[in-house]
Structures are given as structure tokens and as C-alpha cells.
């Protein structure tokens, strides 16, 4: 399974001169399950995504990793369809599947030939409430997850540094805990912990089912109602947002590891999200792309191409979150440079770039990229289900998605610079340095 802080590019952004939209149709069953359908008959294929409105955000303190653990266990079968029946069926019909856990949501998806849509809907509904687990398969899967943590984090100094930096930056909420969980807490998770989590949270009231591809809304509604209407609604989650205290001190984190071959400088800022303001977040995202997004960015041109101080430098904004968003920067020096020297170089350049480097021409180019990317995303089978599901689970609406183009059109250079200047005065950040 893959864990994602799910960093989806906003492929649903486009200019209003384009009349492209998802034309998503929706309904809500009596038990609270939301159904979204995006019809696309270009190919005889359907994508199903089940989005649960929770991830590691609902874990009790001391039980980190439980949401991700549960994601793994959802593939263990039910009484009617035991063991790996679901996965074997997907493989047999030439389909594909996967799942991921984030801080704010958990999702399961399948892509398959359209003639199998009823069976796939039935199988997903069945495991929502009929999962059968044993002490043995819980313990076996725990070992798998501990090995996954070892491979992803404990054997990767860069990932360890990120984990430490987030703990400092988000001291008061779940964004400061690793999605996979702390090793000592994973080891203590029990069969009873898992079953309680499953029974309490896996229900229609906390779920959004998105079907995208060669399926009509009328047929989808009929099939979903057939297999889900008998599942009782559960307690709907109503999480209160926890605010983090402002960082009053300059916070630097350094990790030394003898296996590190090349120094890496990092910085993570705590910032706004799309939930706070879609328009302001789009402006910030566009500004960050101009400033630090890829090999055409201002940072890359200055420090890689011209001055040749770094082999890589860049950054991005992630605002598709229920709570705070964040901005992430990184730089890989060609030779050893002190952490504070890198920080001063980048801070000084960013301030200058906001004033003189972020231009109307560059903004127009970034808007065009959003537009062309949206066409590609619209034409896919899985991408609409990903975009819609993520947006809804973090608190946006279908109306927000379908009218994103109008928000994008409102963005001008003054708005972009305003958001970048606000970011440059943000002292809620942690700087990290990885070296041997």
C-alpha cells in the first residue's frame, strides 16, 4: 500500500474561456453515503474510489499508525469473500487496485472493465462492514508495517529529518505525527484496537464513493443503493481544528548520518490552506510554482544554472488539507555549505525575486500550464475520482471544483505578490540540515 500526504497537482484548475468541467452528478443515500459520478464513455473502463473522511487525524494519542494499519487489513477478506478474493478478482479481470492513507483521509480504488462494475461495487460495500480478522493476520500484518516503516523512514536519513521537522512545526495536532506511526506505538497496537477502530469509523456516514468512467449516473445510483442501503449509518465524525502555537524562536534541526553522501538543506513553513480561502491559496500556489517549481523556476535558474551552488533546489505549496497547509523547500549543495549560510542566501534571493522576478509573463505561463494539465486530467478515468474525492474529504464542495476556473481567472500579479510577501514574513517554519 502507499502512504501519501497525497500531493495531488490541482489538475482541475483551468481558465474560464474553457467550458471544460467534470459535470459531476451526486446523491446521498439515507444512511449518509455520498455518491459522485463522473460520466466518461471514451473507453469501456470504470474507476471506483472509496474515500473515507478520516486518516491519521482521528487516532488517539499513543495509537499512531492505526489508520494506516487498518488500510492494510481491509484487504484480508470477509466471510462471503474470504482472504484475497477481492484482489484476485481484480487481477483476473485485468484490472488494478491500490489504497493510501493520509493525515485527513483514507482511500481505496480499482480500475476495471465496465462490465464488472456491479461486482466491484458489491465487493467494496461488503468489506465496509463485514471484514473478518483474526489475531494471527493482525500480527502478521503488523510485521509487514514495521518493515515498511524501516524501509521508508528508519533506513532513510532524509525521511527521518522530515519526521523530526514536522514534529516541531506541528506540536499540537496530528500533522506532527507520522502517518505510518511511531515504531514503539505500532508494536503495541492490538487486535482489539484494530477492531474497535474499524467498527467505529468504517460506515456510510464517513464515506464518499466516486465512480468515474463509462457508467451512467442512473445505473450507478441503482447499483450503489442495492448494495449499500442495508448498511446502517454510524457516528459521523466531527473533528475540531486544533491550532498550533506560533513559533517564537528560530528553530533548526540537524541530522548527522555517516551514510549521507550529499548534504541536504530543507525548510517547512506552516501556512494557509484552500479551506481558508480558495482564491488566496491559488495565488500562493501560482507564486510558489514561479518561485520554486521545477527546473524553470527562479530559484533553479539562479542557484543551479547561473551560480552552480546547488545541484537541485525547489519547493512547493500543499494546501489541500483540513487544517494548516504547508510550504516545503529543499536545496542540495554541490559542496559543503553551513546551514545558516544557505538560509541567508535563499531568504535574500526570495525577497528580491518576489519584487522583480515574479512577472506578469511568468504568471500567464503558469496559468496556461494549469489549463493544459486540466485537459489531460479531465480525459483520464482515475484522475477525476482522485481530484473530487480529495477535495470533498478535506472540506471543499463540488461547486468549488466545478467553478475553480473562475477563481483562477480572478488571480492577478498583485494578488500573487501579496501572498508571496505574506509568506516571506511567516516565521512559523523549521529549518533542517542533513549531513554526514
Does the pLDDT at position 389 exceed 80?
A: yes
Q: How far is CA 50 from CA 88, 89, 123, 190, 216, in A?
A: 19, 18, 12, 26, 18
Angle between helices 413-424 and 278-292 (to 10 degrees): 80
What is the pLDDT confidence band of residue 243, given thresholds at 50, 70 and 90?
confident
Tell me the catalytic residues: 71
What is the pLDDT confidence band of residue 4, given thresholds at 50, 70 and 90?
very low
Q: State the burial class of residue 364 (Cβ atoms within 10 Å of its Cβ: 0-12, 13-18, 19+).
A: exposed
How large is the average pLDDT for residues 351-370?
94
Q: State the burial class of residue 262 (Cβ atoms within 10 Å of its Cβ: 0-12, 13-18, 19+).
A: middle
**Predicted local distance difference test score (pLDDT) of residue 373:** 77
Does the pLDDT at position 379 exceed 80?
A: no
Average pLDDT over all residues of the chain: 92
How large is the average pLDDT for residues 129-156?
97
**Predicted local distance difference test score (pLDDT) of residue 376:** 74
Which structural domains are found in the chain, ordered by start?
2-228 (3.30.830.10), 251-435 (3.30.830.10)
**Predicted local distance difference test score (pLDDT) of residue 11:** 38
**Predicted local distance difference test score (pLDDT) of residue 10:** 40
Does the pLDDT at position 20 exceed 70?
A: no
**Predicted local distance difference test score (pLDDT) of residue 12:** 40
Identify the residue with better confidence: 402 or 308.
Answer: 308
Q: Model's pTM, two decimal places?
A: 0.92
Does the pLDDT at position 18 exceed 70?
A: no
| Residue 229: CA count within 13 A, CB half-sphere | 7
Does the pLDDT at position 428 exceed 90?
A: yes
What is the pLDDT confidence band of residue 329, given thresholds at 50, 70 and 90?
very high
Q: Are 36 and 209 in contact (CB under 8 A)?
A: yes
Amino acid at each position: 500500500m502507499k502512504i501519501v500526504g497525497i500531493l495531488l497537482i490541482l489538475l482541475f484548475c483551468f481558465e474560464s474561456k474553457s467550458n471544460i468541467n467534470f459535470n459531476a452528478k451526486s446523491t446521498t443515500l439515507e444512511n449518509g453515503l455520498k455518491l459522485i459520478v463522473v460520466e466518461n464513455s471514451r473507453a469501456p473502463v470504470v474507476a471506483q474510489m472509496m474515500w473515507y473522511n478520516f486518516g491519521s487525524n482521528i487516532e488517539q494519542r499513543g495509537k499512531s499508525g492505526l489508520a494506516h494499519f487498518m488500510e492494510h487489513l481491509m484487504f484480508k477478506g470477509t466471510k462471503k469473500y474470504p482472504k484475497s478474493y477481492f484482489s484476485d478478482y481484480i487481477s483476473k479481470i485485468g484490472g488494478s487496485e491500490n489504497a493510501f492513507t493520509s493525515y485527513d483521509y483514507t482511500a481505496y480504488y480499482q480500475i476495471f472493465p465496465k462490465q464488472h462494475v456491479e461486482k466491484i461495487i458489491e465487493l467494496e460495500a461488503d468489506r465496509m462492514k463485514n471484514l473478518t480478522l483474526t489475531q494471527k493476520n493482525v500480527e502478521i500484518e503488523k510485521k509487514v508495517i514495521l518493515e515498511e516503516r524501516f524501509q521508508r523512514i528508519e533506513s532513510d536519513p532524509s525521511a527521518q529529518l522530515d519526521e523530526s521537522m514536522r514534529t516541531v512545526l506541528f506540536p499540537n495536532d496530528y500533522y506532527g505525527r507520522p502517518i505510518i506511526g511511531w515504531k514503539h506505538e505500532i508494536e503495541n497496537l492490538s487486535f482489539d484496537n484494530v477492531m474497535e477502530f474499524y467498527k467505529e469509523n468504517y460506515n456510510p456516514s464517513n464515506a464518499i464513493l466516486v465512480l468515474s468512467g463509462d457508467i451512467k449516473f442512473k445505473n450507478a445510483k441503482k447499483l450503489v443503493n442495492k448494495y449499500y442501503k442495508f448498511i446502517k449509518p454510524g457516528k459521523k465524525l466531527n473533528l475540531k481544528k486544533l491550532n498550533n502555537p506560533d513559533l517564537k524562536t528560530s528553530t533548526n534541526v540537524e541530522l548527522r548520518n555517516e551514510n549521507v553522501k550529499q548534504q541536504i538543506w530543507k525548510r517547512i513553513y506552516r501556512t494557509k490552506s484552500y479551506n481558508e480561502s480558495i482564491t488566496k491559496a491559488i495565488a500562493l500556489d501560482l507564486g510558489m510554482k514561479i518561485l520554486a517549481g521545477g527546473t524553470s523556476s527562479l530559484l533553479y535558474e539562479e542557484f543551479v544554472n547561473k551560480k552552480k551552488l546547488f545541484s537541485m533546489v525547489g519547493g512547493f505549496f500543499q494546501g489541500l488539507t483540513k487544517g494548516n497547509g504547508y510550504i516545503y523547500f529543499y536545496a542540495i549543495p554541490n559542496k559543503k555549505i553551513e546551514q545558516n549560510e544557505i538560509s541567508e542566501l535563499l531568504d535574500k534571493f526570495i525577497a528580491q525575486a518576489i519584487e522583480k522576478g515574479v512577472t506578469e509573463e511568468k504568471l500567464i505561463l503558469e496559468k496556461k500550464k494549469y489549463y493544459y494539465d486540466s485537459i489531460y486530467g479531465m480525459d483520464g478515468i482515475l484522475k477525476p475520482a482522485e481530484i473530487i474525492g480529495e477535495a470533498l474529504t478535506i472540506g471543499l464542495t463540488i461547486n468549488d471544483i466545478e467553478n475553480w476556473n473562475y477563481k483562477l481567472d480572478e488571480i492577478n500579479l498583485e494578488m500573487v505578490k501579496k501572498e508571496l510577501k505574506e509568506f516571506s514574513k511567516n516565521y512559523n517554519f523549521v529549518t533542517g540540515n542533513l549531513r554526514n
